[in-house]
Structure 1
Amino acid sequence: MVSWISTSISTIMALSGLAQGVLGAGASSCTVSTFSSLTLSNINITNLNVTAVYNYNGANSSSTGGTGGVGMISASTGSTAPTVNICLVYMTYTHPGQNDVVNTWIGLPLEASDWNSRFLMDGGGGWVAGGEDVILEPLMSGYSSSSTDGGHNTTASTADWGLTSEGNTNWPALWDFASVALVEAAVLGKKATETYYGSAPKYSYWNGCSTGGRQGHVMAQQHPDLFDGIVGGAPAINWDKFIPSEFWSPFMAQLLDTQPPLCVLDAFTDAAIEACDMLDGVKDKIISYPGQCHFKASSMIGRTVNCSDPSGTITITKAMTKLADAYWEGPRSAEGRFEWHGFHYDSDMSGMLTTNCTSLHNCTVIPFSISDDWMKVFLARNSSLNTDSLTRLDYDRLFRQSVNQYASVIGTESPDLTEMKLAGTKMIAWHGISDPLIPANGTVDYYTRAMKFDPDVAEYYRFFLAPGVGHCGGGTGFDPSDTVFDTLRAWVENGTVPDTLKGIATAIGHSTSSTTRTGHLCPYPKVFTYTSGDPNKASSFTCV
């Protein structure tokens, strides 16, 4: 059952040319006997492997990155060493009676002098809870770290681990992925750290985006005592709602019998940006005030679009405009009731409406893989379901089922952060407004509910919107992905309250001073606002 992991570890050691030479003071403690007491009361360990690894740079580590695009973003933790000597602890265990198998990795800088006295866990992406390579960047930056596969082989299909058999959800596996294995990896990682160095971490951190952002919110809502600081970027919270909502656009493409090529989707996005770009007073291809943008796709009926792949000219139809409006509006029931938020006008529509075309007029929409998995495996519990056969009432029924059966398991949407407040834990969440995979308004909704639950929530949890930024970074806007972790550390360790969050964007116009521009994003509900002057200067923006 665990041969694929054992092979990964041995391959890294072999391919990296790791010398098993004279052991130093730290290496002499990197043995199974040192960690013989490393366990939890609710697990049975079936394998424990401890190895001293030298000159490790991760170049040969097989990636377990986010499948299906809900990205796994590594922590930005400052300067890193080119290589690192580590004590690698790998264990496999099961929860008695649940027939599950969980793999966990713990990495420790081999010498105590190379440890920065801190513990850091990076998050996963998509269906990937984490993995061996996820501990690399924290280790390279001097942290001890741990990670988990969440109870399933990341190369297996979702149906292989999500169902015990057709028609039956594998509930223990889903619980492992959603929260259980994550918490256990944190506890085991911190215990191993204290065992190895003889002292507990001075500070402990979580840093994740997308699935990793949801995982960070799991810790904040359920186990804040494990971490002093948490980064939850583009969090995949409200999972029970936003995952079926990701199926909405391809479902509407089916109902409307229209599968437009990418060039048409881009034409809608470009037209919306052109219409709403100047709402903030700056022409920079960023819609900073999405709530004030009321572009209607119907205004493009009859417009021709010149395409290059496939090449030719195509005319926008009424059905195409209805599809674009559905993408922006989000799912509504057959009776017109709100089900979930749509995407913003400057989001890349191909994230949900990937099309495979043999010609301009012969395209097939390919549903986003994670939402397709969710509809088939966890809702219909039928891995061979033909989703093209779903009716309007079928979609509404499956949406309700998702909320009713899975909110408590993986929704991660409780606004009650009382335990986090009492623990003294600090959290920063952020979300790119142009995110094409997770609607940013879902995080706005969550933070709004958290503010309502506790009007003083900003004392320990702050949320920043990043106009023009995509999923976990990128895009034309002010991207804070490289600065947010350092901002969190300053808040935790120095008491520096994050009244703004630094973001970096590409300079616009004819800037002569730099190819980039800096902006200081605002904690919600304040709005990042252009005032006057050079839009490439941070002083031209303020928080209102």
Structure 2
Amino acid sequence: MTRHLAVLALLASGISAIPATRALADESACTALRDTVLSGAVVTSARVMPAADTLPAYCEVRATALPAISIEIRLPMEGWNGKFYQAGCGGFCGILGRADASGGWVNAMRPGLERGYATATSDSGHHALSVVDGGWAYNNPHAERDWGWRSISETNRVGNLMVDAFYGSPSQQAIFQGCSTGGRMAHVAASRFPEMFDGIISGAPAMDYPGLVATAMSWFIQANTAPDGSRILGAAEAKTIGDAVLAQCDGIDGAEDGAIADPRQCTVDYAGLGLSNQQLDTLARWREGPRNAAGEQLYPGGIPEGSEPFWFLWLTGDDKGSSPLVPAFAGGFGRYMAFDQDPGPAWTPLDFDFETDPARMTTSAEMYNGDNPDISAFRAAGGKMIVYHGWADAIVTPYKTVDWYEKAAELAGGTEALSDSVALFMVPGLDHCGILPGPGGINAAALDPTAALEGWLATGTPPVSIAAE
């Protein structure tokens, strides 16, 4: 494209032309992006960040998509591969670049930047003190909308305008990567914006927040709360239960490796473990998942066998008095994000009514959910999607992902037809997003779905593994 045509293309995209020196990718070309005029957004800073560790030097651009979506774009100073890589965020988000500060690859721009992509992420439309802080959403439907879906498209729009302005040409391919809430965002992208991304990576997707975080988590909390408010199952019981699960189920798949290959094949006899009837009742309710008084399942499955080593973080706390995260997520979501009318700070998950409350979350379900199994438009656009989930995930139960995949396959005409577009990897022993190390050290660092997706996009052959080399 000639410089004249490039300028016309930039103007047609709603941004002002940047001087031709931008093609040199020097510091002045980066800082000149501060003066870029965008429709519905503003650039707040642009600076060159030097190469460090595994990352190349890059132009860091901060922008705000109105009204309040904070976006960071990282543009390689040299060796741009002509492609775009967008990352999701975890929990309720609200902390720009949190994943990149952790040093891992999940929900981070790092794996894209290391490979030469222009990369982008956002805080999903609000600032918060932690990823379990939901107060920003209190009577704030615009912020809820941005968290639910708009931040995905606005990050993509602004990020690609910056790519075009800096390099003088648009990206030729786009990838999205996210886990947990980032996985929900991945599914929302596939259904709401089917032509936006050529490839999508979805990990442990919390694709139905009202069903999972309000309904299922409230069920788990209520089941584990004694009349005096204490926890019925704690860290000690988690160890006892986990040992029994491994002893009785580890070898079902033919290998005793400390991981349950498929908890659906695991039936455990808990007699003789010293658990009280109250504890056994809680465990049974945890395994079956939420139901109403008529016995109807309100969310697929419950807490899987093999996840017990991770219960201290999510469900029970540890023996040193730490607080688990599930009550924090369920509380913040229920108070400020879940219901058509926010109940406010006095609400707790113990207040959730399994007979009436699911029907009070229709508005949030429409804004947040990405569990629609009809991804025919994404498939028709040639999109490729890797979905992975740990069988030992104790917070985003894997049964929902399996349920979504089976329904998507039915709509696509069978698993063989769906395999042209979606590759599902259920990973034994893997904690939620691989945060904690599992059997044999299995965690996020043992996985590399980005390389698998790149190979699929390049060759058209679906991957058979997402293991890191």
TM-score of the two chains, using structure 2 as the length reference: 0.82
Aligned to 1:354: 316
Structure 2: runs of 5 or more not aligned: 1-22, 101-107
1:108 corresponds to which of 59, 75, 83: 75
State which of 303, 309, 312 in structure 2 corresponds to 1:343.
303
2:276 is aligned, of 295, 302, 317, to 317
Matches within 5 A, 1:134-213: 134-155=108-129, 158-163=133-138, 169-213=139-183
Larger deviation, residues 325-334 vs 150-159:
150-159
User: Which residue is equivalent to 2:7?
Assistant: none
> Matches of 2:133 and 2:325 in 1, distance apart?
17
Q: How does 1:175-324 map to 2 (within 5 A)?
A: 175-244=145-214, 245-254=216-225, 259-297=232-270, 299-300=271-272, 303-304=273-274, 316-324=275-283
Name the residue aligned to 1:436: 394
2:43 alignment counterpart: 48
Compute the displacement of 1:142 (Å): 1.9
Measured after TM superposition, the shift of residue 397 of structure 1 is 2.3
Structure 1 stretch displaced more, 379-388 or 443-452? 379-388
Residues 461 and 357 of structure 1, relative CA distance in 2, 3 Å threshold: closer
Instruction: Indicate which of 450, 469, 476 corresponds to 2:439.
Output: 476
1:234-286 Cα shifts (integer Å, max 9, x gaps): 11112221112122222112256652330112211221221111211221222
Aligned-partner Cα distance in 2 for 1:159–1:495: 41
Deviation, 1:395, is 3.8
Change (3 A) 1:35 1:416: farther
Is the 8 Å Cα contact of residues 232 and 278 (structure 2) preserved in structure 1?
A: no
Pairing 1:28–2:58 present: no
Measured after TM superposition, the shift of residue 454 of structure 1 is 0.9
| Identity value in percent | 25
Instruction: Report the alpha carbon displacement of residue 206 of structure 1 after superposing the two structures with TM.
Output: 1.0
Match among 428, 450, 460 for residue 467 of structure 1: 428
SS at match of 2:387: strand
Instruction: Tell me how far 1:352 sits from its aligned partner.
Output: 4.0
Which has more helix, going by share of residues?
2
CA distance in 2, matches of 1:328, 1:115: 48
RMSD: 2.8
Name the amino acid aligned to 2:30.
Answer: C
- The secondary structure found in structure 2 opposite 1:114 is coil
Per-residue CA distance 1:298-342 (angstroms, 9 max, x = gap): x24xx44xxxxxxxxxxx211011111111111111222211220
1:404-419 equivalences under 5 Å are 404-419=362-377
Q: Is the 8 A contact 2:207 2:370 kept in 1?
A: yes
* Amino acid aligned to 2:182: G
Count of residue pairs the alignment pairs up = 422
State the Cα deviation string for residues 319-378 of structure 1 (Å, max 9, x = none).
01111111111111122221122011111333442247789xxx9987531112122223
Alignment CA distance shift 1:484-1:469 (3 Å): same
1:448 pairs, out of 385, 388, 406, with 406
Q: In the superposition, relative to structure 1, how do residues 105 and 270 fare at CA in structure 2: closer, same or farther (>3 Å)? A: same
- The residue type equivalent to 1:420 in the other structure is F
> What TM-score, normalized to structure 1?
0.71
- Distance of aligned partners of 1:295 and 1:139 in 2 relative to their CA distance in 1, 3 Å threshold: same
Which AA in structure 2 matches 1:108? L
The corresponding residue for 2:344 is 383
Per the TM alignment, residue 129 of structure 1 is displaced from its structure 2 partner at its CA by 6.0
Larger relative strand fraction: 1
Q: Which one-letter code corresponds to 1:26 in the other structure?
A: D
Change beyond 3 A, Cα 1:241–1:54:
closer
Name which of 75, 86, 90 aligns with 1:125: 90
Cα deviation for residue 405 of structure 1 reads 3.0
Structure-1 separation of matches of 2:338 and 2:33? 45
| Alpha-carbon distance between aligned partners in 1 of 2:281 and 2:140, rounded to the nearest angstrom | 38
Asked whether the 8 Å contact 1:250–1:366 carries over to 2, the reply is no
User: Contact (CA 8 Å) 1:218, 1:412: kept in 2 or not?
Assistant: yes
Q: Whole-Å Cα distance in 2 between the matches of residues 438 and 264 of structure 1?
A: 21
CA distance in structure 2 between the aligned counterparts of 1:264 and 1:471, rounded to whole angstroms: 21
Q: Match of 2:62? A: 90
